[in-house]
Structure 1
């Protein structure tokens, strides 16, 4: 192996991968070089690569303990690799447990199991296996070894994610997924809000649903509201405060100024325009809400309700540095935006403000405390309202099922606050495949796997915890990133990228630990190019597979419901796919043609032929289930009803209806690989929640789910 390839392999860059067509692709030398440079390993030639390899090797041997050790409780006592000079004698060790207490002991280094020996200069090092004498409880502990002074974090995982007792006992449940911001209601301000979510939970719970799936609720950019993709957020650690239900806030009753503003003719005209619009008018909605919220914050500060102030302070104290630093960023961004900086990208700020730990940032936090407090207050309101919606589904087996995006926008709070944890000069994407022949670049910087280990996975832990809050389920977008992520060097095309490996076992272990602690099941969105054996590893950890009806095919067509894996969540479609209406009428293909998204006319013809074949195969699948008589014509209405009955019959633990199909939307929420070319993330639902509640389609689909899900559970119990 050439030195550059050896260095790339050492850094976790996969030299080869199997694409969606089953063909082996090799990362180019240019891609290897660019990704190594992005990681911080610059090697212009083989000599520099060789020198770097030797330096990395020596550094590893001079380190007594790795920064973190993740162990599964079911695998027995924790084993730690300890590297010390050969002459090391007796060792004293101490484990400090997360919940308090200590475990102490001693060992003779030369009597530990020898793993490897290395000579560096005149010194000889040995790597030996140190086994703790007793099992540790699950959790986050620390180990110290003297006299070397070495220390590491010990993370003991239960190994498997949590499942609700109902699902563990064999029940099959159903629910509805929704893009919150697209919901219509009589009272919202032109964008779906947490109050709408509370009403949706109640409405679907009354019809027997056990889960409500949501888009990512991550914080967006209030100073740039048209940056609307929930999958390119400012921070995945905070909530989107644009979804706050302003009209329901108690402060509104005590603010004469806010009431006068809302009641004014100009405000009401803008509000009614937002409510009646076909597309979400993010700019106007954000302006209206922020005007009122700033007035309500003054009312809150006046101290009219001591109980609410106490709740706010308790939330702030419990949230800690993650909340404070993120809200400080938002205040800084607003400050520099007001000064005319283009979209306030933090990379363009004065250099002293680009470092969150700088004295300049600390001074700003003191000088602009009120601005920071306002941002924290908004987060408290959002958390309070999301919690109220979740409480409304407390009788459900799962309740709210949140979505975790694969990355955050490079100009946002998350990348500013955790600069060492990411690779700034690369972006996550996807290699060319059948559905996207040009590949994809999502513009999201990936985690740096080496940096994650150095910080004992703190950024990943914070991320998981933040998104399991108020949730009984969490969908991990592009879950294959737990094993590897396709990284595109900045300035290059997706075809010039390569996969970067991640510590799968460690990340799955942490995910299982947080899942059990938060009683939150985990679903892995495993669409696209899935590595061999990956789904089996996810199943072993109780992570549900994500199965989309239109993709579940074999050589004979759409697979029958009985062939769906039990440990899965079955859906008809999602935000990146056409609705059932659009799929049946091939409206998505016509839209792609108008947007010139087919690389060649031949690709367009091939995909249209595949769609026609899919339509025929869908008819066969429905006939096989007795849902369609031979020769019976399918229209959109019958497809929506019959497809959901088909989904309800699957063995999947959870089956979900997309609310866009219940309201019979023809156009997609998002067209992948487009931004300004199409109004993504804006198409509102054509029916309000009030009208949907009495629509016969909802009643029929809900009744079908309740009946068919019960039959599946009963049949499986009788086997």
Structure 2
């Protein structure tokens, strides 16, 4: 572990850090004020291309930052809210004639009036520069537009303009529930059927959506389905993907690709043999083997791809490829290169020239096309799942989950390297549940670089995630406001917060959600300032309430005191299912893995006190019988959250079948089979999609929940 220098933070270094949003102090989870090590601050600045190694460099960088806006005609990007007048500063040689207009998405033009605001000219690089202020009217339409400034006769400068909604609106929900809705939450890879290839897929998702609609669910929240590596070994965590923009082809059901039906008999037989070799896993409750599944599934998909497509189908594929543009081509190139080259010969280095990359595209053209095709057929199957869920009666349908970052060696880390902070990882400082802090190993976005590219990466990934979804859960939504940056080689506790332009980040998110007609839910757990929750609520972004985290004076928060604009749940994927939590599995597991920094007896006592206080709260509301069973307690907890005003209520599928095993233990990698646990009951017997309609525990929990919701509605 690299030791961070403890040299003092000078006032100039603090001022420079503030310019770039790098915190030099913060309040920790225990309410104590802490200074950030100077070396951490310097490392964060260096990751944004800012030199702060000496007093001279710091002063030079402060001057550069101060003059930067005056050295450009327009800001790199303008984000405003519809219905609120805004202004845009324009810097030109003092005395030069200047005019401005907005080119709308619709190709219309809106001329801009100049404000009579006067700003003292400044001498910049030996020339006198003035600032003109133009008014952006409050009635500009929502969308992505462009500000155009014309200096003199014909010298143009342009900047993207995003006009974002003031607030997002909820869809029409169930009148019999008082305008509320409930839904299921599932780790898709864990939910298999008899026809799965050893892992849950998009065909299973369609079946689960139809089943959910039949029992009254309006949404189905799934884990992130972002793409992982194209070859084994595959990173199991859906929260550490190779890319957040494209989906994981491991979720494709090969038999449902249209061309599979036309394979010659011998190839069809090989496909069936491949399926049979992994379908024996479907009834096995031991950890999933993604590597074996993908090897069989990939071979089958290669056979289907090689069989070709009809003229009309090829046209559809070509249009998809054109629509997804350079982002898809770059991702497919990375996949093809990852298959073809080892780390010693890796061609997509930072030093790779455009000519070398173009040559590589030609060399790997067939595999690039294959990986583009995988995205197309995955997109088709995901679209079908959403269509089935909505047509079956769900008001929202599939709720996608957006991970907070990407794998440091993944596709996005290469294709988006110009907007990522090198030498840094995203994580979290120490807190009650992770007393050593967390390092998620993901490179953070550079806030300055995002602005320079007009927030296009944010726009593109949100737009793609919402192609076939009615809602989007944003993991760690505080990442749109600030992220905990950890210098490589340092512990998680030696990081610092770096701030983002949340008005722009949330605005872009809201704009894309509005265009898709989607609901947005922010995972706002942990250390979140109250004003952030208020801000998100004002923008129509729902929050998250997890029963075990909702406390007042160390006691369960009364249901009536919960926020209304939230998704309320009993548990989360970072805790064991409720049956396991009640049995103190979260304590036992952390103790076995050496993750506790306090004596296990003390942690266990705190868990028992927490549980007993919760049970007492249930008794006070007459939700528990005498000497309740585990099933009755789990149902009572769900009835408890149904008594809250929360507009959305989620039920974990693992809770509904009595599963005890955790999907993920934060702070571990290989020590625990994170993200590999298939759906099973309390006896560790696999539960398949076909089993759910006849599962007594599943039916009992949903009956209890929906009865309580109707009583409150």
Residue equivalent to 1:55: 64
Deviates more, 1:60-69 or 1:374-383: 60-69
Q: Is the 8 A contact 2:337 2:347 kept in 1?
A: no
How far 1:27 sits from its partner (Å)? Answer: 1.3
Q: Is the 8 A contact 1:252 1:258 kept in 2?
A: no
- Structure 1 CA distance for aligned equivalents of residues 334 and 322 of structure 2: 18
Deviations 1:434-464 (A, max 9, x none): 2212111100000000000000100111111
Q: Is the 8 A contact 2:225 2:248 kept in 1?
A: yes
Q: Is the 8 A contact 1:174 1:210 kept in 2?
A: yes
Residue equivalent to 1:708: 708
Q: Is the 8 A contact 1:588 1:667 kept in 2?
A: no
- Structure 2 CA distance for aligned equivalents of residues 438 and 535 of structure 1: 26
Change (3 A) 1:199 1:106: closer
Residue equivalent to 1:87: 95
Q: 1:455-534, aligned counterparts within 5 Å?
A: 455-534=453-532
Change (3 A) 1:658 1:105: closer
Deviations 1:497-522 (A, max 9, x none): 10001001111111111111001111
Residue equivalent to 2:655: 661
- Aligned partner of residue 463 in structure 1, secondary structure: helix
Residue equivalent to 1:113: 117
- Structure 1 CA distance for aligned equivalents of residues 161 and 245 of structure 2: 24
1:25 aligns with 2:22: no
How far 1:269 sits from its partner (Å)? Answer: 4.3
Residue equivalent to 1:177: 185
Residue equivalent to 1:140: 144
Deviations 1:577-615 (A, max 9, x none): 1110111000121111111111242xx333212211111
Q: Is the 8 A contact 2:458 2:509 kept in 1?
A: no
1:9 aligns with 2:18: yes
Residue equivalent to 1:717: none
Aligned residues: 691
Change (3 A) 1:273 1:106: closer
Change (3 A) 1:152 1:678: same
Residue equivalent to 2:316: 311
Q: Is the 8 A contact 1:189 1:275 kept in 2?
A: no
Counterpart among 651, 655, 659 of residue 645 in structure 2: 651
Residue equivalent to 2:690: 690
Residue equivalent to 2:603: 607
- Structure 2 CA distance for aligned equivalents of residues 513 and 121 of structure 1: 39
Residue equivalent to 1:345: none
Q: Is the 8 A contact 1:580 1:636 kept in 2?
A: no
- Structure 2 CA distance for aligned equivalents of residues 411 and 39 of structure 1: 19
TM-score by length of 2: 0.93
Q: Is the 8 A contact 1:190 1:277 kept in 2?
A: no
Deviates more, 1:637-646 or 1:443-452: 637-646
- Aligned partner of residue 73 in structure 2, secondary structure: coil
Q: Which runs of 5+ in 2 are unaligned?
A: 1-9, 681-686
Change (3 A) 1:367 1:269: closer
Deviates more, 1:697-706 or 1:515-524: 697-706
How far 1:222 sits from its partner (Å)? Answer: 2.9
Residue equivalent to 1:268: 276
Q: Is the 8 A contact 1:486 1:499 kept in 2?
A: yes
Residue equivalent to 2:343: 341
Change (3 A) 1:26 1:167: farther
Residue equivalent to 1:125: 129
Deviates more, 1:131-140 or 1:364-373: 131-140
Change (3 A) 1:17 1:170: farther
- Aligned partner of residue 173 in structure 2, secondary structure: helix
Residue equivalent to 2:3: none
How far 1:122 sits from its partner (Å)? Answer: 5.2
Change (3 A) 1:210 1:11: same
Change (3 A) 1:267 1:80: closer
Change (3 A) 1:357 1:463: farther
- Structure 2 CA distance for aligned equivalents of residues 475 and 134 of structure 1: 30
Deviates more, 1:644-653 or 1:270-279: 270-279
Q: Which runs of 5+ in 1 are unaligned?
A: 343-347, 714-719
- Aligned partner of residue 318 in structure 1, secondary structure: helix
Deviations 1:247-301 (A, max 9, x none): 333333222343222444x8734542465352111111011101111111112x1
- Aligned partner of residue 107 in structure 2, secondary structure: coil
Q: Is the 8 A contact 2:239 2:405 kept in 1?
A: yes
How far 1:405 sits from its partner (Å)? Answer: 0.3
- Structure 2 CA distance for aligned equivalents of residues 663 and 319 of structure 1: 39
Q: 1:97-108, aligned counterparts within 5 Å?
A: 97-104=104-111, 107=114
- Structure 1 CA distance for aligned equivalents of residues 222 and 430 of structure 2: 28
Q: Is the 8 A contact 1:665 1:685 kept in 2?
A: yes
Change (3 A) 1:624 1:323: same
Q: Is the 8 A contact 2:223 2:400 kept in 1?
A: yes
- Structure 2 CA distance for aligned equivalents of residues 411 and 587 of structure 1: 33
- Structure 2 CA distance for aligned equivalents of residues 663 and 114 of structure 1: 68
- Structure 2 CA distance for aligned equivalents of residues 3 and 184 of structure 1: 58
How far 1:12 sits from its partner (Å)? Answer: 1.1
Counterpart among 209, 214, 239 of residue 206 in structure 1: 214
Change (3 A) 1:122 1:362: closer
Residue equivalent to 1:547: 545
- Structure 2 CA distance for aligned equivalents of residues 240 and 175 of structure 1: 24
Deviates more, 1:453-462 or 1:646-655: 646-655
Residue equivalent to 2:636: 642
How far 1:525 sits from its partner (Å)? Answer: 0.3
- Structure 2 CA distance for aligned equivalents of residues 228 and 149 of structure 1: 49
How far 1:103 sits from its partner (Å)? Answer: 2.0
- Structure 2 CA distance for aligned equivalents of residues 193 and 121 of structure 1: 59
Change (3 A) 1:267 1:468: closer
How far 1:217 sits from its partner (Å)? Answer: 0.7
